[in-house]
A and B are shown apart, each in its own frame.
Chain A
């Protein structure tokens, strides 16, 4: 599974890395560290990746198999 964080939508709510710190991380200002990138989710962490995406108020995280 891959996740992509839309850099124009992420405004730094911080919900993704709070509920799924194994998958998502913040940058120095509290935005998703990998915004704009397409990132491979480590094996076994699909559930966390989904949980983090689900709580993003901006719907900025897209998941793809």
Chain B
């Protein structure tokens, strides 16, 4: 069978944590979109995937039938605390989003542009003269955390590495250790939130979270507030890294596109949207079916777990022409990289701002760069996807001691 050439039949026996998916990412997604509107997994309790744009949209918007309240991960690890508002439905979800949204609106995040630009330049300063960098470690893993910590929650930047590591291990690490890894991040952020609760208010996002929201006139629990700051941090530091890395990989290997953006920075925002589509940090998030329903010709039953395959839906030829092609000049970019329905990524405006500023500054400082010879970028994939190494070289002064 055609869907079998990835070492397993991806239509009936898919595994999102299978290294073969990581390796053949686009091939698997495109095969799914073309051949299986619904794919199934036998892993653990089993789950299904919706792979086409219209089906993903329908399920994402119909939160009553496709609930987030039982979590976004298939085979959710025992003891993994729920992340709010992501893992909740209206009205709890709406109570939080209404309170949080203003902090993430386009005009609100615009205030951070200067600080993000300064941080991008700080990070570039450290390697610009070296003529080489490992872009993930030296830049992409650091910038989103700095942007989020400095501008939104005020956690010391020195603690970023520990949080990134804990959340990484909680996402891609051995399944049985994920809850404990994530727990380290939750403990840290819970202590931080408690300290801020006891300090004079500053009127910022952290005050809002520490103060909590009401559900039906009752104040929400303290655990729920810790969960919210954890969810926002997770989204803020564990995702944009991949788009940044993907963009730089593309520009390192497509000199014409690089030259276009160097010459015409006004084209960067459109390119950013295409990079977000093509390098989706959030591959697929799950829903639990609340009542029997037919979608994409498949009968789902109450209790079934379904992944909305955002990464595949963004490559659906029924939604977008030539989806397998990365075209920075594309006119109508339609994608589901930020999700669809009420759970639309709350940080999407911040992510776009970070990506635009990063590309503007990197291309201004280092307009000519390439992939380092004999290296290939490394990836990690589960319900999220990221790049773990990307070696770049550029004419940049001396190569001290020669890296080779």
Contacts and interface: CB of A to CB of B under 8 A. Distances in A.
Interface in A11-53: 11-15, 18-19, 26, 28-30, 51
Contacts of A12: 101, 105, 344
B61 A9 contact: yes
A29 B331 CA distance: 26
Interface in B228-272: 269
B334 A54 contact: yes
A46 B3 CA distance: 43
26 contacts: A11-B341, A11-B342, A11-B344, A12-B101, A15-B273, A19-B332, A26-B105, A26-B107, A28-B105, A28-B107, A29-B102, A29-B105, A30-B104, A30-B105, A30-B106, A30-B107, A51-B331, A54-B332, A54-B334, A55-B333, A57-B334, A57-B335, A57-B336, A57-B338, A58-B57, A58-B340
Shortest beta-carbon contacts, A-B, top 10: A11-B344, A30-B105, A54-B332, A29-B105, A29-B101, A30-B106, A57-B340, A55-B334, A55-B332, A57-B336
B349 interface: yes
Contacts of A56: 334
B101 A30 contact: yes
Interface of B: 57, 61, 101-102, 104-107, 269, 273, 331-336, 338, 340-342, 344, 348-349
A59 interface: yes
A4 B336 CA distance: 22
A57 B57 contact: yes
A57 B54 CA distance: 10
A52 B334 CA distance: 10
A50 B62 CA distance: 25
Nearest to A56: B334
A58 B341 contact: yes
